[in-house]
Chains A and B, each alone.
Chain A
Amino acid sequence: MNTQSRISKSRLAEQFRAFIDPDFVITDDETLKPYECDGLAMYREMPMLVVLPETVEQVQRVMRICHENGVPVVARGAGTGLCAGAMPHKEGVVLSLAKFNQILNIDPIGRTARLQPGVRNLAISEEAAQYGLYYGPDPSSQIACTIGGNVAENSGGVHCLKYGLTVHNILSVEMITAEGDRVTVGSDGLDSCGMDLLALLTGSEGLLGVVTEVKVKLLPKPEVAQVIMAGFDSIEKAGDAVGGVISHGIIPGGLEMMDGHAIVAADDFCGAGYPRDAKALLLCEVDGTEEEVHEHIAEAEALFRKLGATSIRTSQSEEERALLWKGRKSAFPAVGRISPDYYCMDGTIPRRYLAKVLLEMEKMSEEFGLRVANVFHAGDGNLHPLILFDANVPGEFERTEAFGSKILELCVEVGGCITGEHGVGVEKIRQMAVQFNDDELQQFQDVKAAFDPTGILNPGKGVPTLKFCQEYRSIEHKQHKHEEADTAHG
């Protein structure tokens, strides 16, 4: 793929400034600095320049100029991503969509919203609330992350099992292709003719096009939601309880699990009243009509009791529900308090292997000499192991990465995948080769080329290329040396 720029920084800036407010064509290091990374700050790169257009026509012209000159383009929303998918390219342009922050229209009868890509996820639900509606996917970063970024990552959240991911909740996107064409993919209807390019674009990490508008579906806000907190004295029992509820025919709105380390950290952090001696905690939220919630809560409580819950508490008010969730929602900062740094992984596994995977992880934890706390979207099998480390200790981050790699390999081994919702980006590009064989990776490359023949869109992310492997050889080498050092220690 060609990512060799054929134009100088000053010449490119001059071209952009001819049609974009010169203050928003950024070329100086000081102003470029905040763009050097996304939410995964361990990976950094300074871009050649950053541009913040404010009309779709301007985005289109930026793309045409970059296409003509072979300049890499990295589209960026709020920069909250967790896989370095929005990390700049050093010879490329960061195309920030921050100015596209308008909710264009909400149709309360048809239950849809037409959005610019820079609209924050939570802002959609806040605006729709006056009609008794909300937007389903609710990633933890929803206060800051944008809908354009959600499309790029196919973001989920805690309600996926029942309400789906981004791909299930959008009707259409307007995008600018690598060659600068403006197209709408999908329609206002539920199904569109031809290949499902909308699904292909969702989760494509900015490698296939630049999204300039999104139409989403809105859902009626459930009448009631109640959460059951159940403690268990083993992970196995908690895992069985998850299966028990689901096979009983109840699909909870949210179903989360935390291990012993995470329970204590979260309880210390916010005093949610979690059972501190439990080895696993389930939060099972049931939502729907009053009658349905009443019926299902009673059934789920009885099931948990039968399956060995050591403690059960059901929220009796909105305040209590919020409190029980607060511990889970603050699990990351809570863990942040007991360790200088933490590294969040994102593998997904078939639920039946939960106990096996957690046990193996504990063994690895001992081998690597690093603690790990687990929060888990139990309903859909998405694990978030948090590896605790100290970046100031030389070599500890490298050891953390190696530990993380092993966890992801384990997820693939039991039939899962390397990333459930955070994306591949730069971070997991090496593990792509664990999940996919060369023919599959080549097929991905060929799909990419169908959208972006010259390879200017977010090069080096998502799918490994030969060129990328070469760039990474030095890091692999460093890590290899580290493993040798570990062996020597052992």
Chain B
Amino acid sequence: MADQIQTIQEQVLRARSNGQKLNIVGGGSKSFMGRQSDADASTLSLAEHTGVVEYHPVELVLTVRAGTTLKEIEAVLAEQGQCLHFEPPHFGDASTIGGTMACNLSGPARPWAGSVRDQVLGIRLMNGKGEHLRFGGQVMKNVAGYDVSRLQAGAMGTLGVITEISLKVMPKPAATVTLVREMAMDEVVEYMNRRAGEPKPITGACWVDGKVYLRLAGAKSAVEATAEKWGGEVMAEGDQFWREVQDMQHGFFDDPEAPLWRFSLDSTARTPELEGPWMIDWVGSQRWYRGQASLSDLEPLARAAGGQVSLFRGGDRTAEVMHSQPEALKTIQRRVKHSFDPDGIFNPGRLYSWL
């Protein structure tokens, strides 16, 4: 456990007075995400700012410093039979909760458990003026003031340094079963959506390599009865499959040459017609595509399917990697950025070139 607030604050204030830029880094496991970091910026490390501040299993609330690794958090929760049920991906052991929040990452349970943004109850944030602010809190319901905590999800550190996070945690499911069956890509989207529309304890629906995987989790009797009703082969290594999807260790993600694109779409939309392999997760809401393409070519396809596309890994990271924003929202986000970070110290250009 270590509280590094003073060091962090000094570094921010120094950067501000010197006109220096800062790259905020937790475990450094997500350096491949977003646009290339500003080479002239110095590193603001959160790696030493670690530790559980408070944990009340009965309240389902955990408060941790932002540099705490997911691995450590999950170990602490497991002792009490609890978990981060949004299943954040671990890109190695170094992945931290702060980085997870900044990138708004979540795993296969996302359609049911929400993302990290859904489970955040409050944060502490160092803004560009070196002010250490507290937003939200440690309670499930809180509508006092704007939801600045969730605003950080996906902002990739452009608004400030997240120093502490309070999260809702949940009990681990008592039983889990994975069902698998072969299915063609053009049938699977409707199939998964129909299953998700049944009042059954489903917490995963993913298609890859011609097979659809459904995960049931919850009370043992309910999981068993549903598995019986739905049929399909019960997968012995089900947990391992979901772990590989969660951490992007599945064979689908292997090819380092082909850029990896993330489509976030209407769950029922037709998959865009592109040459190359797909993985369809989140009942169809998240579709991974591997292939050479340009963002400007893919954007209209994503838009036609009700959603957005981003270049998740690989490709040209000096160009834009995130779905473009309409002018009016660009203006607002520039102003929001300015309101937190008037001198543009934090992660310049990491999210968008204009931010």
B266 lies within 8 A of chain A by Cβ:
yes
Bound together, the chains give a CA A89 to CA B311 distance in angstroms of 46
Q: Which residues of B contact A296 (CB under 8 A)?
A: 219
A211 lies within 8 A of chain B by Cβ:
no
Residues 51-65 of B, flagged 1 when their CB comes within 8 A of A and 0 if not, give: 000001111110000
Q: Is the CB–CB distance between B154 and A193 below 8 Å?
A: yes
A447 and B139 contact, Cβ closer than 8 Å, known pairs A193-B154, A223-B199, A288-B218: no
Residue of A nearest to B198 (CB): A220
Shortest Cβ gap from B355 to chain A (Å): 8
A185 and B306 contact, Cβ closer than 8 Å, known pairs A291-B225, A443-B340, A444-B145: no
Bound together, the chains give a CA A168 to CA B117 distance in angstroms of 9
B94 lies within 8 A of chain A by Cβ:
no
A156 lies within 8 A of chain B by Cβ:
yes
B171 lies within 8 A of chain A by Cβ:
yes
Residue of A nearest to B114 (CB): A168
Q: Is the CB–CB distance between A415 and B201 below 8 Å?
A: no
Of the listed stretches A65-73, A271-279, A309-317, A345-353, chain B binds A345-353
Shortest Cβ gap from A202 to chain B (Å): 7
A189 and B151 contact, Cβ closer than 8 Å, known pairs A108-B197, A249-B174, A418-B144: no
Q: Is the CB–CB distance between B196 and A111 below 8 Å?
A: yes
Q: Is the CB–CB distance between A203 and B171 below 8 Å?
A: no
Mostly helix, strand, loop or mixed at chain A's interface? loop
Q: Is the CB–CB distance between A352 and B154 below 8 Å?
A: no
A419 lies within 8 A of chain B by Cβ:
yes
Shortest Cβ gap from B91 to chain A (Å): 17
Of the listed stretches A28-36, A259-267, A327-335, A432-440, chain B binds A432-440
A197 and B145 contact, Cβ closer than 8 Å, known pairs A247-B58, A416-B139: no
Q: Which residues of B contact A195 (CB under 8 A)?
A: 151-152, 154-155, 158-159, 333, 336
B135 lies within 8 A of chain A by Cβ:
yes
Shortest Cβ gap from A435 to chain B (Å): 5
Q: Is the CB–CB distance between B59 and A164 below 8 Å?
A: no
A424 lies within 8 A of chain B by Cβ:
yes
Q: Which residues of B contact A292 (CB under 8 A)?
A: 201, 218-219, 221-222
Bound together, the chains give a CA A167 to CA B266 distance in angstroms of 18
Q: Is the CB–CB distance between B197 and A424 below 8 Å?
A: no
Q: Is the CB–CB distance between B328 and A181 below 8 Å?
A: yes
Q: Which residues of B contact A258 (CB under 8 A)?
A: none
B111 lies within 8 A of chain A by Cβ:
yes
A129 lies within 8 A of chain B by Cβ:
no
Q: Is the CB–CB distance between A191 and B104 below 8 Å?
A: yes
Bound together, the chains give a CA A208 to CA B199 distance in angstroms of 36
Q: Is the CB–CB distance between B141 and A194 below 8 Å?
A: no
A-contacting residues, B280-309, CB 8 Å: 282, 285-286, 305-308
**Chain A, interface size: which category?**
35 or more
Q: Which residues of B contact A349 (CB under 8 A)?
A: 139
Q: Which residues of A contact B153 (CB under 8 A)?
A: 196, 199
Residue of B nearest to A449 (CB): B339
Of the listed stretches A9-17, A376-384, A386-394, chain B binds A376-384
A45 lies within 8 A of chain B by Cβ:
no
Q: Is the CB–CB distance between A450 and B133 below 8 Å?
A: no
A196 and B306 contact, Cβ closer than 8 Å, known pairs A107-B268, A352-B59, A420-B142: no
Bound together, the chains give a CA A97 to CA B140 distance in angstroms of 30
Q: Is the CB–CB distance between A183 and B326 below 8 Å?
A: yes
Q: Which residues of A contact B111 (CB under 8 A)?
A: 190
Residue of B nearest to A250 (CB): B171
B-contacting residues, A45-60, CB 8 Å: none
Q: Is the CB–CB distance between A190 and B144 below 8 Å?
A: no
Q: Is the CB–CB distance between B172 and A249 below 8 Å?
A: yes
B322 lies within 8 A of chain A by Cβ:
yes
Bound together, the chains give a CA A379 to CA B142 distance in angstroms of 14
Q: Which residues of B contact A377 (CB under 8 A)?
A: 141
A336 lies within 8 A of chain B by Cβ:
no
Q: Which residues of B contact A416 (CB under 8 A)?
A: 137, 139
Residue of A nearest to B224 (CB): A291
Q: Which residues of A contact B104 (CB under 8 A)?
A: 191, 196
Beyond the given pairs A193-B154, A417-B142, 9 more chain A to chain B contacts, judged by CB atoms under 8 angstroms and listed by A's residue number, are: A108-B197, A190-B264, A196-B155, A220-B197, A249-B174, A290-B225, A350-B61, A417-B137, A451-B332
17 contacts across the A-B interface (CB closer than 8 A): A109-B193, A111-B267, A153-B143, A154-B147, A177-B332, A188-B269, A191-B154, A249-B172, A288-B219, A351-B59, A381-B139, A419-B143, A420-B139, A424-B144, A440-B145, A447-B336, A450-B332
What are the nearest 9 A-B pairs in CB distance? A188-B306, A189-B264, A199-B150, A189-B307, A450-B335, A420-B141, A446-B339, A292-B222, A188-B266
Which B residues form the contact surface with A (CB < 8 A)? Answer: 56-61, 80-81, 104, 110-111, 114-115, 117-118, 127, 131, 133-135, 137-148, 150-155, 158-159, 170-172, 174, 190, 193-194, 196-201, 218-222, 224-226, 263-269, 282, 285-286, 305-308, 310, 322-323, 325-326, 328-329, 332-333, 335-336, 338-340, 351-352
